[in-house]
């Protein structure tokens, strides 16, 4: 049952829907279609007004319902595999701008978090916020040592508001799943759940601080890409203190030109950094809109420095996701649609009963028009979107991290082509894709996989001979009872011989690799051990890897 406050909120939502003429959409659903005549009896429908397009009305409804619904619309705008194009485009215009709460309230929250007055912590604190959004607002501050920092403060009472509105969203989503004709396909409830996870994560500023710290560590040696430093001593769950950065906003094209910044370099560097995050680090900034990127340059610098802020939405990819992206992108570049279809079916992304020829044909139909143009005009984000839409029609469940990736690629492409219209994203990204494939699938990938698994193999080695003997004894017992009774027994015996050979090769190969590792280690500490030690170690390593590879085949 709903509380009085929630009932009042439901009535408010209904009133807003009616005001924007969306009661017509409600009565068109499966649930209300039998009583659609009631729609025409409602007094406000006797003289119908001319309304704006459907998408614009929906956007205005979300804006009127408040910041939580605005953020939900923003999340929905990234799910272009679910929404009609007109609604997705309109929702992308939603702005997370909320009137600030009083500076004295922010001061009170911070002092409560620190259990001391602000004068004891900061040299200066500006109660006028620099920016204000639905979940938090940002103030400028100066530490006792004179360094400039920003202080991000969670809005008071926002968690209660969020949970109240989420309850209503779940209620409406469940009804949509049941009564809306496309509800099951859209999986509205799962979208709300994804939104809940993202929104509640933003309430924990310790999490955002940890993400910023991780990204900073990943690029600590990169001079042209800068992530501000977190002050961990002053950061709490509802208060984040981070180094204040400066620079020209990346959307200020005229300002960048006046500063003499090479826009072509900047566009290509942004793409390169993003794909480095995705494929080298498996951890990327998933909120790369123009307001979060600043460019700093002085006359003494050879190249400008890109400063990034706002680490509330980050995402990571496992090796499975990375391979999905790399192999599919490269297959698209080669127009190998059969390879794309095969990858999806073999990996289990689409049901095993899916006909490959039908899936391949569907992919070709939606992607060929995109690829039939110069490479610099092909949108990487659009290709991913088309792939998601096609795969979903074959019952593929799209992973949230891939949706965030697609959204971020669209943002990076948009920024890059605003800076430099002739940006060839594929030319910039392809080396990263091929490098990752070589590292994971090529010879280097095999060697790396072997080296990573050596500890596991060594741990299991002592038990292998005993297990092999047990299997052989069981086979021997079976042979005595059933010799020449069945062809299956002979097949089993053949398989066991192969298994024994593989076991021997694995044991010997692991021994060679272990010996190589020991020789290399001793040579580091006892350089004069013997002159040919490195050569012996390399030979032993190559023999070991060869035997281990052979142990995986007949």
Distances (CA, A) of 361 to 105, 133, 366, 528: 60, 45, 9, 65
Residue 519 is inside which H or E element, if any?
A: helix 487-525
> Which positions ≥6 away from 190 have C-beta within 8 Å?
none
Q: In which band, very low, low, confident or very high, does the pLDDT at 233 lie, cut at 50, 70 and 90? A: very high
Burial 160-181 (b: 16+ CB within 10 A, else e): eebebbbebbeeebeebbeebe
Contact 149, 244 (CB under 8 A): yes
Cα angle 249-255-256, degrees, rounded to a multiple of 5: 75
DSSP label at 456?
A: H
Contact 178, 162 (CB under 8 A): no
The yes-or-no verdict on residue 109 having pLDDT over 50 is yes
Q: In which band, very low, low, confident or very high, does the pLDDT at 406 lie, cut at 50, 70 and 90? A: confident
User: If you write DSSP's letter for every residue of 359-407 in order, what string do you get?
Assistant: HHHHHHHHHHHHHSS-GGG--HHHHHHHHHHHHHHTTPPPPHHHHHHHH
Contact 294, 249 (CB under 8 A): yes
Tokens of 26: 């409600």
What percentage of the chain carries pLDDT values higher than 70?
A: 67
The yes-or-no verdict on residue 386 having pLDDT over 70 is yes
Q: What is the predicted pLDDT for the residue at 482?
A: 44
CA 419 to chain centroid, in Å, comes to 24
Q: In which band, very low, low, confident or very high, does the pLDDT at 110 lie, cut at 50, 70 and 90? A: very high
> Which positions ≥6 away from 424 have C-beta within 8 Å?
375, 376
CA 14 to chain centroid, in Å, comes to 35
Rounded CA-CA distance 275/426 in Å is 11
Rounded to an integer, the average pLDDT of 122-133 is 92
Q: What is the predicted pLDDT for the residue at 367?
A: 79
Burial 143-154 (b: 16+ CB within 10 A, else e): beeeeebbbbbb
Q: In which band, very low, low, confident or very high, does the pLDDT at 548 lie, cut at 50, 70 and 90? A: low
Domain boundaries, the chain: 4-97+159-201, 246-441, 444-551
Rounded to an integer, the average pLDDT of 188-192 is 74
The yes-or-no verdict on residue 111 having pLDDT over 90 is yes
**Radius of gyration of the chain from its Cα atoms, rounded to whole angstroms:** 30
> Which positions ≥6 away from 338 have C-beta within 8 Å?
356, 360
Q: What is the predicted pLDDT for the residue at 37?
A: 44
Rounded CA-CA distance 134/74 in Å is 12
Contact 151, 110 (CB under 8 A): yes
- Which residue, chain included where needed, has tokens 């360094």? 147
The yes-or-no verdict on residue 285 having pLDDT over 50 is yes
Who wins on pLDDT, 73 or 23?
73
The yes-or-no verdict on residue 68 having pLDDT over 90 is no
Give strand pairing partners of 153: 137, 239
Q: In which band, very low, low, confident or very high, does the pLDDT at 148 lie, cut at 50, 70 and 90? A: very high
Q: What is the predicted pLDDT for the residue at 511?
A: 66
The yes-or-no verdict on residue 235 having pLDDT over 60 is yes
Tokens of 178: 């049941």
Other C-beta atoms within 10 Å of 451: how many?
Answer: 13
The yes-or-no verdict on residue 483 having pLDDT over 50 is no
Q: In which band, very low, low, confident or very high, does the pLDDT at 73 lie, cut at 50, 70 and 90? A: confident
Rounded CA-CA distance 285/308 in Å is 9
Q: What is the predicted pLDDT for the residue at 25?
A: 55
- Which residue, chain included where needed, has tokens 């929905």? 76
Q: Worst-scoring range by mean pLDDT, 91-95, 138-142, 181-185, 361-365?
A: 181-185
Highest mean pLDDT among 325-334, 419-428, 519-528: 419-428
Using the Cα atoms of residue 363, residue 367, residue 371 and residue 375 in order, give the sign of their dihedral: negative
Q: In which band, very low, low, confident or very high, does the pLDDT at 453 lie, cut at 50, 70 and 90? A: low
- As a whole number, the mean pLDDT across the chain is 76
The secondary structure of 241-308, three-state, reads EEECCCCEECCCHHHHHHCCCCHHHHHHHHHHHHHHHHHHHCEEECCCCHHHEEEECCCCCCCCEEEE
Q: What is the predicted pLDDT for the residue at 480?
A: 44
Rounded to an integer, the average pLDDT of 395-411 is 76
What percentage of the chain carries pLDDT values higher than 90?
A: 23
The yes-or-no verdict on residue 302 having pLDDT over 80 is no
Highest mean pLDDT among 144-153, 365-374, 530-539: 144-153
- Which residue, chain included where needed, has tokens 């009472």? 157
Q: What is the predicted pLDDT for the residue at 553?
A: 55
The yes-or-no verdict on residue 15 having pLDDT over 80 is no
Rounded CA-CA distance 231/145 in Å is 13
Contact 278, 322 (CB under 8 A): yes
Burial of 488 (0-12, 13-18, 19+ CB in 10 A): exposed
119 is catalytic: no
The yes-or-no verdict on residue 217 having pLDDT over 90 is yes
Highest mean pLDDT among 114-118, 521-525, 541-545: 114-118
Q: In which band, very low, low, confident or very high, does the pLDDT at 301 lie, cut at 50, 70 and 90? A: low
Rounded CA-CA distance 284/317 in Å is 9
Tokens of 194: 């994804």
The yes-or-no verdict on residue 276 having pLDDT over 60 is yes
Q: What is the predicted pLDDT for the residue at 35?
A: 46
Which one, of 189, 199, 208, 109, lies nearest residue 162 by Cα? 199
Which one, of 231, 228, 265, lies nearest residue 247 by Cα? 228
The yes-or-no verdict on residue 434 having pLDDT over 80 is no
Burial 213-233 (b: 16+ CB within 10 A, else e): bebbebbeeeebbbbbebbee
Q: What is the predicted pLDDT for the residue at 531?
A: 54
Q: In which band, very low, low, confident or very high, does the pLDDT at 381 lie, cut at 50, 70 and 90? A: confident
Rounded CA-CA distance 167/494 in Å is 62
Which of 81, 287, 310, 424 is an active site residue? 287
């Amino acid at each position: 049952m709903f509380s009085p406050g929630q009932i009042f909120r439901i009535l408010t939502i209904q009133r807003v829907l009616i005001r924007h003429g969306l009661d017509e959409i409600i009565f068109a659903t499966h649930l209300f279609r039998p009583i659609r005549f009631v729609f025409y009896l409602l007094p406000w429908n006797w003289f119908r007004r001319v309304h704006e397009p459907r998408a614009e009305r929906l956007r205005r409804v979300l804006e009127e319902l408040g910041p939580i619904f605005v953020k939900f619309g923003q999340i929905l705008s990234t799910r272009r595999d679910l929404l009609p194009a007109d609604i997705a485009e309109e929702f992308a215009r939603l702005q997370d701008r909320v009137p600030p709460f009083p500076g004295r309230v922010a001061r009170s929250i911070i002092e409560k978090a620190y259990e001391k007055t602000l004068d004891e912590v900061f040299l200066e604190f500006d109660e006028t916020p620099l920016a204000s959004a639905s979940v938090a607002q940002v103030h400028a501050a100066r530490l006792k040592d004179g360094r400039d920092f920003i202080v991000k403060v969670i809005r008071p009472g926002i968690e209660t508001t969020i949970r109240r509105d989420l309850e209503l969203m779940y209620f409406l989503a469940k009804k949509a799943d049941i009564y809306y004709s496309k509800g099951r396909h859209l999986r509205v409830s799962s979208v709300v759940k994804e939104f809940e996870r993202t929104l509640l994560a933003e309430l924990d500023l310790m999490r955002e601080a940890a993400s910023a710290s991780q990204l900073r560590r990943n690029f600590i040696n990169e001079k042209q890409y800068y992530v501000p430093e977190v002050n961990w001593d002053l950061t709490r769950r509802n208060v984040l203190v981070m180094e204040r950065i400066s620079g020209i906003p990346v959307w200020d094209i005229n300002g960048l030109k006046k500063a003499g910044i090479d826009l072509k370099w900047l566009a290509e560097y942004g793409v390169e950094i993003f794909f480095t995050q995705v494929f080298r680090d498996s951890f990327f900034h998933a909120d790369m809109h123009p307001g979060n990127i600043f460019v700093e340059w002085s006359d003494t610098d050879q190249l400008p420095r890109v400063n990034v802020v706002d680490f509330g939405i980050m995402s990571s990819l496992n090796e499975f996701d990375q391979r999905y992206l790399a192999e599919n992108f490269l297959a698209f570049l080669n127009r190998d649609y059969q390879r794309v279809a095969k990858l999806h079916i073999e990996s289990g992304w689409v049901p095993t009963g899916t006909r490959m020829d039908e899936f391949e044909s569907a992919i070709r139909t939606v992607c060929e028009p995109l690829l039939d143009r110069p490479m610099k005009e092909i949108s990487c984000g659009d290709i991913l979107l088309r792939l998601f839409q096609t795969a979903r029609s074959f019952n593929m469940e799209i992973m949230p991290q891939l949706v965030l990736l697609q959204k971020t690629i669209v943002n990076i492409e948009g920024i890059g082509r605003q800076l430099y219209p002739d940006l060839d994203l594929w030319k910039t990204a392809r080396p990263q894709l091929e490098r990752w494939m070589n590292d994971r699938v090529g010879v280097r990938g095999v060697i790396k996989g072997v080296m990573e698994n050596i500890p596991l193999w060594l741990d299991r080695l002592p038990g292998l001979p005993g297990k092999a003997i047990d299997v052989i004894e069981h086979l021997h017992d079976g042979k005595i009872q059933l010799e020449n009774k069945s062809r299956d027994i002979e097949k089993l015996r053949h398989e066991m011989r192969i298994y024994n050979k593989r076991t021997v090769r694995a044991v010997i190969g692991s021994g060679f690799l272990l010996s190589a590792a020991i020789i290399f280690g001793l040579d580091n500490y006892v350089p004069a051990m013997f002159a040919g030690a490195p050569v012996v170690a390399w030979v032993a390593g190559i023999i070991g890897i060869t035997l281990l590879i052979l142990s995986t085949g007949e």
